[in-house]
Amino acid sequence: MPHDHDHHDNDLDEMTALTRALETVLVEKGLVDPAAVDAIIETYSNDVGPRNGASVVARAWTDPVFADFLATDATAAIASMGFTGRQGEHMRALFNGAGVHNLVVCTLCSCYPWTVLGLPPVWYKSPPYRSRSVRDPRGVLAEFGTILPDDTEIRVWDSTAELRYLVIPERPAGTEGWDAERLAALVSRDAMIGTALADVP
């Protein structure tokens, strides 16, 4: 569905409001085609985005050979599913497991694997998230509603222009026999960054 280009939204955060205002000016001056903007947003929100990453996770949950491939060479494994492109050239998969939870941050900028996660959330680029995730990862996770047992080790990974990460959350109990498509619906963008867990059916 095309989005509205007549922006009079007072409940938007400052960055979104500025972005929409800039888009409006560019459209009014004939410098940007609204249809092209819609196509880009649709592409990164749906076609190139969290659904891609969720498909990777679901396949890893259901295909041990692929999971080994992903653990060994995430870039090639992800590319084998047809997901390549912007900031997805150098990937590493981080597998959550018993007693271990992975969290991804980019402390210096906002390096982010668009190919498998889509558009980065505003909070991922914010200075508080980038600094506090390193100093107090357990507290940051709690603010996202992710409460982990005290004995769970939290590993924080710092993305760079040379290497980006995809968290493979633990497969929820009660999903035995589910196919990959059904499993993928349990995997959110936040779970693949590490600020959330996979949804429980």
Give CA–CA dist 180/53, Å, rounded. Answer: 12
Q: Which is more confident, 173 or 48?
A: 173
Confidence of residue 8 (pLDDT cuts 50, 70, 90): very low
Query: How many degrees, rounded to 5, is the angle at CA 138 between CA 137 and CA 140?
Result: 65
Q: Which is more confident, 33 or 188?
A: 188
109 annotated to a ligand binding site: yes
111 annotated to a ligand binding site: yes
Does 5 score more than 50 pLDDT? no
Active site residue 106: yes
Active site residue 111: yes
Q: Which is more confident, 193 or 37?
A: 193
Query: How many degrees, rounded to 5, is the angle at CA 81 between CA 93 and CA 65?
Result: 60
131 annotated to a ligand binding site: no
CA dihedral of 63, 65, 71, 77, whole degrees rounded to 10: -80
Does 28 score more than 50 pLDDT? yes
pLDDT of residue 198: 98
CATH number of the domain at 50-193, out of 3.10.20.30, 3.20.20.120, 3.90.330.10, 3.10.129.10? 3.90.330.10
* DSSP-derived 3-state class of residue 199: coil
**pTM (2 d.p.):** 0.78
**Active-site option among 111, 126, 159, 188:** 111
Query: How many degrees, rounded to 5, is the angle at CA 137 between CA 131 and CA 140?
Result: 80
Active site residue 131: no
Give the count of alpha carbons within 13 A of 59, CB side only: 19
Does 113 score more than 90 pLDDT? no
**Active-site option among 45, 55, 80, 110:** 110
Residue appearing with tokens 């050239």: 89
106 annotated to a ligand binding site: yes
pLDDT of residue 96: 98
In order, the DSSP letters of 132-152 are: HHHH-HHHHHHHTT----TT-
**Active-site option among 45, 55, 80, 106:** 106
* DSSP-derived 3-state class of residue 119: coil
Active site residue 110: yes
- Per-residue pLDDT reduced to its tens digit, 50-100: 899 999 999 999 999 999 999 999 999 999 999 886 555 789 999 999 899
Does 36 score more than 50 pLDDT? yes
pLDDT of residue 112: 84
Confidence of residue 1 (pLDDT cuts 50, 70, 90): very low
Helix axes 34-42, 14-28, angle to 10 degrees: 140
Residues in the chain: 201
Structure tokens at 117: 């996660």
pLDDT of residue 35: 78
Closest listed residue to residue 167, CA positions, set 32, 50, 89, 80: 50
- Per-residue pLDDT reduced to its tens digit, 123-177: 999 999 999 999 999 999 999 999 999 999 999 999 988 899 999 999 999 999 9
What spatial distance separates the first Cα and last Cα of the chain, rounded to whole Å?
Answer: 29
* DSSP-derived 3-state class of residue 90: coil
Does 9 score more than 50 pLDDT? no
**Active-site option among 45, 109, 126, 131:** 109
